[in-house]
Amino acid sequence: MKPKSILFLCTGNYYRSRFAESLFNHLAKQHGLDWQATSRGLAIERGVNNVGSISQHALTGLSARGIVLVGEVRRPRALKESDLARAHQIVAVNRSEHLHILERNFPQYVEQVEFWNVHDCGLVTPDKALAQIEKNVLRLINRFASEPRLKVT
């Protein structure tokens, strides 16, 4: 059986959604949850000045939590409709920033999206943003851990 999938969305798939994806996968494994996170960007073209494949803020935040990404880290990926269609849960990290993009490009999925209110750099420090994401990811982990699981007989 394939694990359930959660899709984290942010603007560039470089910082907030990548941190959420890696943190969620780490915690889901620790808790024995049959969930797998991925992440995508709603407007990755806005990240033309990003350095590297993933934000140093995300890497620092993950490292501070004992999570080290091994191997080559993938580049940011743009959201496709197929990503939304196969997700069991969809989270956009900032409602005011992402709702209008979703309404314009994927209106049929807006009602399925859980919106958080985690702001990007410039509006809030990385420490605060990552702490907010961590708190929200922990809520998801606790929610999924309390769901009844199907037993195979």
CA atoms of 129 and 109, how far apart (whole Å): 25
d(CA 107, CA 103): 4
Residue of 5, 73, 66, 63 whose CA lies nearest to 30: 66
Per-residue pLDDT tens over the stretch 95-153: 999 999 999 999 999 999 999 999 998 889 999 999 999 999 999 999 999 887 654 44
Q: What is the DSSP string of the chain?
A: -PPEEEEEEESSSSSHHHHHHHHHHHHHHHTT--EEEEEEES-GGGGTT--SSS-HHHHHHHHHTT----SPPPPP-B--HHHHHH-SEEEESBHHHHHHHHHHH-GGGGGGEEE-B-PPTTTS-HHHHHHHHHHHHHHHHHHHHTS--PPP-
pTM of the predicted model, to two decimals?
0.93
Helices 126-145 & 16-30, crossing angle to 10 degrees? 40
Q: Encoding tokens for residue 101? A: 């993009």
Q: For the chain, which domains are there?
A: 18-145 (3.40.50.2300)
Q: Which amino acid is at 120?
A: D
Mean pLDDT of 76-90: 97
What's the mean per-residue pLDDT of the chain?
93
